[in-house]
Amino acid sequence: MIEYIRLRLTFEALSDLQLTFFKGSTLRSLFKTSLRNVCCIGSRNQECKGCICAGTCPYVFLTEHKTETGEDTVLPLAVSCASIERNGFQKGERFSFDMALVGKAINILPYAVASLSNWERHDLGRFQVLISGRDMVGRADSRFRLQDMLPWGKVGFVRAEQVTGNGLRHIYEPGGVFRQPEIQSLSINEKPSPGMWTVTVRFLSPVRIFRKLVDPATGRKKKTLVTPDLFSFEIFFRALRKRIVELARHFGESPLELPDDQNERIWQAVAEVTMNKTDGGLEMLGIRRYNRSLDRYKLYDGLIGAVEFKNVSGCLVPWIMAGEILQVGKFPAMGYGEYRCEFGNQEIMKGEKSHRTEHFLDG
């Protein structure tokens, strides 16, 4: 069982506002900067490494968490911002997005919420930004200017609400009283849903999954970004399972350990799943992350689109549904790996309406 809370955060444009198509990098950078302002007692340029507070600092725990041996881990944070469909907002207009805190990260919720009021101090233009081909639509190459696409403007925090199975629950607004959230849980080990399922997965934000493949030139295994041609249910499930297991190990009350016979059933079920690409299938979206201060780009390409999986056993359903909250692949804290599912039971619910997440989640 993995505990989590999912917040819906609402902001208001304090000036005319411009964003890019994928907003996760900008929002994550705003959150990190503001959280550090709230938590850090050191100087502005001081590095966290070597700080006497690093072991107990909420900022380090949430954004730069490492293992006991100093290795990077998954972060207990997932930003879901694909619902922000517009790139431009006039002063006074509002927008919302979701943020999930997982496991022990729930304990630093007061710091996270307190930092949101600091967002108004920062102009969006100072942060790294994701620029994709969709930002280029309608722009002639001869007239392209990077500064025309970079975000700018300021936002002010309006309120934080918790997303629950019963709707939205008020948590906090500036000047008000902080309300304790209800802890929710994802039950991976619950009783499998009966029958076989057809699952349509729609990737709402880019998905970056890597797999080690043999390089024909060297004969050695090389970490390769998964493209539409390489994508399969097994690759998707392995990436999803890895994220869930690591979150449970580093941030849960106990590691997620399954009996050998249950693991065997899971991998047998994975091997039986078939895949059909739908609604145009999957495509590789070219994305660059631009650092304004360094004037440099870094490639952040990812998969986007829809795919249909058939013959999905009920024992796989809780894992897939958990991924709707926790997201999948690299950079969920930056808005990557967000997806939504539609379910249809192949045996007992033919012709009936697809089912949604709430049927499989506790709390």
The answer to whether 172 and 179 have CB atoms below 8 angstroms apart is: yes
- Is 60 exceeded by the pLDDT of residue 145? no
User: What's the mean pLDDT in 41-51?
Assistant: 74
Q: Which residue has the higher pLDDT, 232 or 351?
A: 232
User: Which residue blocks in 50-164 are alpha helix, DSSP H?
Assistant: 58-63, 109-116
Q: What are phi and psi of 193, to 5 degrees?
A: -70, 140
- Residue 128's H or E segment, with its range, is none
Q: Spell out where 194-316 has E strands.
A: 196-207, 210-214, 221-225, 274-285, 287-291, 296-299, 302-313
Give the up-direction half-sphere exposure of residue 2: CA atoms within 13 A in the CB hemisphere.
29
Q: CB count, 10 Å around CB of 278?
A: 14
- Regarding whether 219 and 178 lie in a shared domain, the answer is no
Return d(Cα 144, Cα 136) in angstroms, integer.
8
Region 20-29 average pLDDT: 85
Average pLDDT rounded to a whole number, residues 25-38:
89
Residue 330 burial by CB count (10 A; 0-12/13-18/19+): exposed, middle or buried? buried
User: Are 57 and 202 contained in the same domain?
Assistant: no
Q: Read off the amino acid at residue 313.
A: S
**193 and 174, same structural domain?**
no
Do 192 and 180 lie in a common domain? no
List, in order, residues 6 or more apart from 69 with CB less than 8 Å away. none
The average confidence (pLDDT) of the chain is 84
| Integer angstrom CA distances of residue 108 from 29, 30, 121, 252 | 18, 17, 22, 14
CB proximity list for 150: less than 8 A, separation 6 or greater: 18, 20, 125, 129, 290, 292
Kindly state whether residues 38 and 94 are assigned to the same domain: yes
Give the integer Cα–Cα distance in Å for 162 and 180.
10
**Rounded Cα gap, residues 11 and 119, in angstroms:** 9
Same domain for 308 and 318, yes or no, is: yes
Maximum average pLDDT range among 47-51, 93-97, 118-122, 262-266:
93-97
**What range defines the domain where residue 263 resides?**
187-359
Contacts of 144 (CB under 8 A, 6+ apart): 136
Structural domain tally of the chain? Answer: 2
| Mean pLDDT of the 137-155 span | 59
Does residue 242 share a domain with residue 204? yes
pTM confidence score: 0.86
CA distances to 165, 262, 322 from 359, rounded to whole Å, are 10, 22, 12
Type and span of the H or E element at 335: none
Of 185, 216, 244, at which residue does a domain stop? 185
Alpha carbon distance 259, 265 (integer Å): 10
Q: Same structural domain for residues 162 and 233?
A: no
pLDDT given at position 124: 85
**Final residue belonging to a domain, choices 185, 205, 240:** 185
Same domain? For 158 and 204 the reply is no
CA distance 172 to 170: 6
CATH of the domain at 232: 3.30.70.1900
Number of other residues whose CB lies within 10 A of the CB of residue 152 = 14
Structure tokens at 23: 């907003």
Give residue 357's pLDDT.
Answer: 43
Among candidate residues 155, 185, 215, the one where a domain is terminated:
185
- Are 64 and 77 members of one domain? yes
**Residues 284 and 309 grouped into a single domain:** yes
Are 223 and 247 part of one and the same domain? yes
- The stretch 247-268 carries a mean pLDDT of 88
pLDDT in tens, 299-330: 889 999 999 999 999 999 999 999 999 999 99
- Given this model, what pLDDT does residue 26 score? 87
